[in-house]
Structures are given as structure tokens and as C-alpha cells.
Structure 1
């Protein structure tokens, strides 16, 4: 089953045409709204230097689930 997702609004313009693997291995600033300054903060404080590590970080994942649960409560 093929899945298509339009990530244009979620990615920095320079990363819009990259493969999923390239995006996951990219610095967090590949995401729209984040800058190289954010990359440094994430790396220095949390050891996060890729989109993959950001997305799999347990603290960010728990926060995302909590926000989703709140939305379900109505």
C-alpha cells in the first residue's frame, strides 16, 4: 500500500525534494520554523542532531501523545 504525504509546509524549502531517508538524517533545521541555532540547542542539551533523533525522542513523543489526548477529550 503506497502512502503519499505532502510535507511542503512542514519542511524548509531546501529539503522539500529530498528522500525520506535524507530528511530523517538531516539536522532538525530541515523542519520549517527551526534554524541552525535550534540545531545547536537541541544537540548541546539533548544530544539530538537529526530529524530522526528528534522524532524518536521519548520526551517529545510523550508530549505529542498528551497533546493528541487532550484534543480527543473535546
Structure 2
């Protein structure tokens, strides 16, 4: 998990991570978080995981990867 999260969020429970801001994810800056909020009303990691566009994209990729 350490490669997926900013240092301050390592060791947090899954419940805490779902409630954490998207900037808790490694590689997501405060600026990125602001743009996600403006474009998709995404504030937390949970919001991102539940977002219909992100879920659709993930499902499509999974289907293509499974077909290989």
C-alpha cells in the first residue's frame, strides 16, 4: 500500500482511507484534487471509487484485459 498512498495515510484503516481526500493517493496533487472536485464533485477516495465514469472505465479495461 505504501506505493499507492501518500506517507501520512500509510497505516490508516480501509474505512479511514475511503473517507480520506483524493490527494491521499500517491500521485494525486492538491491541484488534481481540486479539478476532480470541480469536474465530478469528487472529494474523497470513496467518491472516486463510486464515481460512475471511473467505474465504467475500470469495467471496460477489465473486460479487455480478461479477453486477452
2:53 is matched with 59
Q: Distance in 1 between matches of 2:66 and 2:7?
A: 32
Bigger Rg over Cα:
1
Provide runs of 4+ in structure 1 moved above 6 Å.
none
**Count of aligned positions:** 68
5+ residue gaps, structure 2, are: none
Q: CA RMSD in A?
A: 0.9
- The alignment's TM-score, normalised by the length of structure 1, stands at 0.85
Picking from 11, 22, 31, the partner of 1:37 is 31
5+ residue gaps, structure 1, are: 1-6
Higher helix share: 2
- The alignment's TM-score, normalised by the length of structure 2, stands at 0.92
Q: CA deviation at 1:19?
A: 1.4
Q: Distance in 2 between matches of 1:43 and 1:65?
A: 22
